[in-house]
């Protein structure tokens, strides 16, 4: 298993700071985002389990949630996600975005231009406050997974899956759990998520490493020097 997570902070262009934690595994980066009215602990222990599969896992608190600054504001969610993903992509390359609930609906309006070419939406439900038009969704490679006995998510997926832009994979199971609980209690969902990310994110990650080899080597050297200074 990977060592425990370290705290991270991401400053958006507005100056607002979002906080979270990171499992610093040398692998493709995955960003986990919780739903409104929750915090990053919602994904425990899924995040550590995914890190154990060889992914760099970054779990973030939304604006006004957990340790992040600001007040809760669903209307800022998409812009905040885009800004956050852009900052992470600049350092680690294209990311896999994992979300659930209403924020999963919002994630349908984020694509590779903002750093998330591969996405997993768990038990998505309507983000009614955001007044989103699914026909204006942004294309990405997506895995949509839900429990078929979860009435709200089932209705949403059945209504909008065909209209969602981009390539997509539908994974359902005969369960009434939703969100992170679905992943925790249904090991086959975790297996499907892992396979999806390995297939559709790893190539982007390797291409980024090849294109930025000198920058990555320089950053590793700086990190090593800083570590030596601290230990000395």
pTM of the model: 0.93
Confidence band of 31 (pLDDT split at 50, 70, 90)? very high
Q: Pick the residue with more confidence: 10 or 2?
A: 10
- Measured in degrees and rounded to the nearest 5, phi and psi for residue 13 equal -60, -30
Domains defined for the chain, CATH in brackets: 6-231 (3.40.50.1820)
Tokens 């060889």 correspond to: 54
Nearest C-alpha neighbor of 122 from the set 211, 212, 186: 186
Residue-level pLDDT at 230: 56
Angle among Cα 147, 152, 153 to the nearest 5 degrees reads 45
pLDDT above 90 covers what percent of the chain?
88
Exposed/middle/buried for residue 64 (C-beta within 10 Å: 0-12, 13-18, 19+): middle
Q: How many H-runs (helices) and E-runs (strands) does the chain carry?
A: 8, 8
CA triple 55-61-62, angle to 5 deg: 120
């Amino acid at each position: 298993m990977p060592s425990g997570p370290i705290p991270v902070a991401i400053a958006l262009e507005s100056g607002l700071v979002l906080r979270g934690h990171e499992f610093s595994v040398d692998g493709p980066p995955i960003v986990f985002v919780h739903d409104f009215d929750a915090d990053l602990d919602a994904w425990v222990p899924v995040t550590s389990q995914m890190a154990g599969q060889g992914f760099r896992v970054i779990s973030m608190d939304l604006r006004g949630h957990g340790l992040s600054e600001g007040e809760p504001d669903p209307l800022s969610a998409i812009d905040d996600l885009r800004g956050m993903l852009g900052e992470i992509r600049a350092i680690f390359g294209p990311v896999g975005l994992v979300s659930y609930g209403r924020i999963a609906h919002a994630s349908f309006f984020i694509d590779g231009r903002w750093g998330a070419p591969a996405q997993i939406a768990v038990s998505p439900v309507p983000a009614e406050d955001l007044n989103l038009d699914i026909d204006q969704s942004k294309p990405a490679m997506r895995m949509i997974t839900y429990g078929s006995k979860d009435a709200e998510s089932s209705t949403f997926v059945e209504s909008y899956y065909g209209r969602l832009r981009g390539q997509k994979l539908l994974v359902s199971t005969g369960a009434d759990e939703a969100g992170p609980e679905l992943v925790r209690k249904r090991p086959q969902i975790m297996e499907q998520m892992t396979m999806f990310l390995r297939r559709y994110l790893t190539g982007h990650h390797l291409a980024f490493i090849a294109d930025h080899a000198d920058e990555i080597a320089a950053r590793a050297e700086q990190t090593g020097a800083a570590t030596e200074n601290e230990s000395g």
